[in-house]
Amino acid sequence: MDTHVARLAQRFGLTSEEDPEKIEQTLMALVPQPQWTMFSHWLIWHGRRRCFARQPDCEGCEIEKLCPRMGVQ
């Protein structure tokens, strides 16, 4: 489990789990199996390019309307 995937899954409210295996299981139940790999890559890309751990770029975020933690660090 990539750290970006775990952090963003929590930030987006997709899981409240802390354990990587439980986060993975939660995401597997939410995302159709054919899209698991791409979904993971999307979260990694977003975490590296926009939604940083310490200072997310919420103002420049392409999916800000989907994020329940908009502006929260």
* Secondary structure class of 25 (helix, strand, coil): helix
Asked if the model's pLDDT at residue 71 lies above 60, the reply is: no
Question: Do the beta carbons of residue 53 and residue 44 sit within 8 Å?
Answer: no
Q: How confident is the model at residue 65 (pLDDT cuts 50, 70, 90)?
A: confident
Which residue carries 């997709």 as its tokens? Answer: 14
Q: Give pairs for 5-10: CB < 8 Å, separation 24+.
A: 5/40, 5/43, 5/44, 5/47, 7/47, 7/53, 8/43, 8/46, 8/47, 8/51, 9/43
Statement: residue 50 has pLDDT above 60: yes
* Rounded Cα distance, 57 and 7, in Å: 15
- pLDDT tens track for 12-37: 999 999 999 999 999 999 999 999 99
